[in-house]
Amino acid sequence: MSTFPTDPEAPGPQPRGPVDSSRTPRYAGPATFARLPRLDQVDAADVAVVGVPFDSGVSYRPGARFGGNAVREASRLLRPYNPAQDASPFALAQVADAGDIAANPFHIDEAVETVEAAAGELLDTGARLMTLGGDHTIALPLLRAVSRRHGPVALLHFDAHLDTWDTYFGAAYTHGTPFRRAVEEGVLDTSALSHVGIRGPLYGRKDLDDDEKMGFGIVTAADVMRRGVDEVAQQLRERIGDRPLYVSIDIDVLDPAHAPGTGTPEAGGLTSRELLEILRGLAGCRLVSADLVEVAPAYDHAEITSVAASHTAYELTTLMARQIAEGRDAG
C-alpha cells in the first residue's frame, strides 16, 4: 500500500509507492529498495533500482557482491518525503526495484557483456537506472548502455581512487580500469569528466598525468574540506552544463569512519554529510542514470556503510524523480 495519498483528479496513472509503514513495520515486508514495488508489479518504471551482485574485478577485499542487498535492507528506514530536496520522489515518478542482474562470477568478460545487455533492456523501456553494485567493474558496461541511448555522457565520479589504470595482472576489465576503457571506447564526453574525493597513495606521478590526458578534473577530499560543499557543487554544475550526466559513486569516497564496509578503504575521506550535500547541489543537472558500488557488508559495523549508501541512492533517485516530474527528460 502506498505511503502517500493518491489524487483521484490527477491526470493519468499515478505511481505506486512503498509499503505503508503504519500498517507493516519497517523490519517486515518485502526486501526491495525502500520497500518499493517490484518492477513486475507496475506497468512501467521511470526509475529502475537494479542490483549487480558481481565482485570478481576487485583487487583487494572481496564481498561487494552482497552490497546491493545490504543497501536494500538499510533502505527500509527511508521515508517518502525528502525535505532536503523538498520532494516526494516516489510520488513524482514511478520507482521500482528491478531485482538483480545475474552475471557470471567466473568470467569477467562474459559478466561485462551480461550487465551491458541487461542494462540496455531496462533503458529501452524508458527507465533511468539506479544501480547497486557490486564492484566498480560494472560501471563500464553501464556506461556503454547509457551512451547508446544518450550519446557520450558527462561523468561525475565519486571515489577515493582514479579508476583509470590500464590493467591489473594483464586484465583490462577490473574495478580499477573502467573509466580508462570508457574514454578509449568514446562513451564519455571528455569535456566534462570529474573525480571527487580522490586521496591516498598512488603508484606514481604518471597515474595523475595519464588521468589528466584523458580529460578528468580532480576535486580531492582535501579540496572538499577546504572549499566547502557549495563551492564544489557549483564548480561541478558549471563543468557539467546541460550535458546528459552519469554519476558513479564508489562508497569508499567516504572516510572509513563513515564507510568501513568496503574493499579498498583510504583514510581522509568525505563525510556522509558532505557527499549528500554535494549531490543535492546537482539539482537541475540532466542526471540520466547512476550507480553506487563497492559496499562490502562483511566489513561493515552496525550497517554504517549500507545506511550511508541507502541515503546516497535515495538522493540520486530524488534528483531523477524531480527531473522527470519537471519534464526535463533527456531521452
pLDDT at 6: 43
In this predicted model, what pLDDT tens digit does every residue of 48-70 receive, in sequence order?
A: 999 999 999 999 999 999 999 99
pLDDT band at residue 154 under the 50/70/90 scheme = very high
pLDDT band at 106 (very low <50, low <70, confident <90, very high): very high
Does 329 score more than 90 pLDDT? no
Residue 288 lies in a domain: yes
Q: State the residue range of the domain holding 101.
A: 33-325
Give 260-271 pLDDT, tens digit per residue. 999 999 999 999
| 27 within a domain of the structure (yes/no) | no
Within 249-331, residue ranges assigned H as helices are: 272-280, 304-325
Residue 203 in domain = yes
As a whole number of angstroms, the distance between CA 18 and CA 208 comes to 44
Query: Is 312 part of a structural domain of the chain?
Result: yes
- For position 241, which CATH number holds? 3.40.800.10
pTM: 0.94
Count of other CB atoms within 10 angstroms of residue 108? 18
Considering the domain boundaries, does residue 174 fall inside one? Answer: yes
Q: What is the pLDDT of residues 269-311, one digit of tens each?
A: 999 999 999 999 999 999 999 999 999 999 999 999 999 999 9
Number of folded domains in the chain? 1
* Cα–Cα distance measured from residue 272 to residue 52, given in angstroms and rounded to the nearest whole number: 23
- Report how far residue 5's alpha carbon sits from residue 86's, in angstroms, rounded to the nearest whole number: 17
C-alpha cell at 109: 568478460
The SS3 of residue 76 is helix
Q: Check pLDDT > 50 for residue 5.
A: no
Summarize the confidence of residues 150-154 as an average pLDDT.
Answer: 98
Residue 228 counted as domain residue? yes
Q: For residue 193, is it within any domain?
A: yes
Answer yes or no: is 260 within a domain.
yes
